[in-house]
Amino acid sequence: MAFAFALISCASAPEYKAKPIAKSSSASSSEYSSSVSKLINASWNDLPGWYDDDLTAAWPAWKRSCEGLVTGYYEPYLNGSRQRGGVYQTPIHQYPDAWKKRKPAELPSRAELLSSGQLKGQEILWVDDPVAAAFMQVQGSGRVRMSDGKVIRLGFAGTNDHKFKSFAQWLLDRKEINHSTATMQGIQAWSKKNSPQRVQEMLNANPR
């Protein structure tokens, strides 16, 4: 609602009309409650000072915000299965049980961790694209369409505390791609043209 209001407000300055403060309306029978929150219907009259404020003072800020950068949050979709097999060969791991009890002072890099066997038994599911899986881990969350038709949402649980290094920069340094193709789509296209071993080399360039 606030976003739609902001877009409309870009068209013309609002006309301000002072109105008397009305008595607080009683809660509607339509409401929602849970163990952590309670939501009820309310009117603008229920907002203290709503009709006392001169909203025209906010117009310059609203106008400037219309010239600002609009951002969004992207959640990738992957295809996966509870069991390894066929195209589903890339594991998505949970945070290691051993690290929950006591996190080591020095943690292994991505390549070291995957080859160490420490993550055996920590697989949540398996997906069909190692590069998409890596991008999901960088992004911090994603959704997986399972082979049985269900959709599972995965979220960030922790890291090995290594510094992030860009896949794109690794490819650029080796002249495998150029700046115009240093994108998610460009990296995906490169991975489809190269061997699984070469793709893993790229992914392991990021130790995080």
pLDDT digits (tens, 9 = 90+) for 158-180: 999 999 999 999 999 999 999 99
For residues 153 and 167, what is the distance between their CA atoms, to the nearest angstrom? 24
- Its pTM stands at 0.64
In contact, 114 and 90? CB cutoff 8 Å: no
pLDDT at 10: 45
Examine residue 42 and state whether it is found in any structural domain, yes or no: yes
Q: Give the range of the structural domain holding residue 61, as residue numbers without chain letter.
A: 2-65
What pLDDT was estimated at residue 63? 77
CB-based contacts of 161: which residues, under 8 Å, 6+ apart? 107, 208
Within this chain, do residues 123 and 195 fall inside the same structural domain, yes or no? Answer: yes
Shared domain for 18 and 42, answered yes or no, is: yes
85, 108: one domain? yes
Report the distance separating Cα 177 and Cα 153, nearest Å. 32
Together in a domain, 112 and 174: yes
Residues of the chain below pLDDT 50? 1-14, 16, 21-22, 24-28
**DSSP letters along 4-30, please?**
HHHHHHTTSPPPP---PPPPPPPPPS-
Give the pLDDT confidence score for residue 93 in this predicted structure.
96
Backbone dihedral angles phi then psi of residue 22, each to the nearest 5 degrees: -90, 160
Domain boundary among 34, 65, 96: 65
Kindly state whether residues 21 and 105 are assigned to the same domain.
no
Boundary of a domain, candidates 37, 65, 93 = 65
Residue 28, judged by CB atoms within 10 A of its CB (0-12, 13-18, 19+), counts as exposed
Structural domain contains residue 70 = no
137 plus 197 within the same structural domain = yes
Handedness of CA 144, 150, 155, 160 (dihedral sign): negative
Predicted confidence at residue 1, as pLDDT, reads: 26
User: If you search the block for the tokens 């009305």, which residue do you land on?
Assistant: 22
Q: Can you tell me the distance from the alpha carbon of 6 to that of 66, in angstroms, rounded to the nearest whole number?
A: 8
Would you state the pLDDT for residue 186?
Answer: 95
**Number of domains, the chain:** 2
Same domain assignment for residues 81 and 139? yes
Sign of CA dihedral 104, 110, 116, 119: positive
pLDDT value of residue 28 = 46
Output the pLDDT for position 149.
93
Query: Same structural domain for residues 118 and 193?
Result: yes
Q: Are residues 193 and 98 in the same domain?
A: yes
Of 165, 192, 161, residue with least CA distance to 177: 192
Please tell me whether residues 178 and 105 are part of one structural domain: yes
